Amino acid sequence: MDPLDIMMNQDQVVSYFSPIISAENQLIIGYELKPYYQDSEMLSLDWFFKDDSIPSEFRLELNTIIQQKSLDLFFETKQSTLLFINYNA
User: What residues have CB less than 8 Å from 52, skipping those under 6 apart?
Assistant: none
Mean pLDDT calculated for residue range 14-20: 92
**Phi, psi values for residue 77, rounded to 5°:** -85, 0
Phi, psi of 53 (to 5 degrees): -80, -15
Domains recognised in the chain with CATH numbers: 3-84 (3.20.20.450)
Residue 12 has pLDDT above 90, yes or no: yes
> What are φ and ψ of residue 81, in 5° steps?
-100, 180
Q: Which band of pLDDT confidence, cut at 50, 70 and 90, is reported for residue 89?
A: low
Q: Give CA–CA dist 11/26, Å, rounded.
A: 35
Say how far apart CA 41 and CA 14 lie, in whole Å. Answer: 12
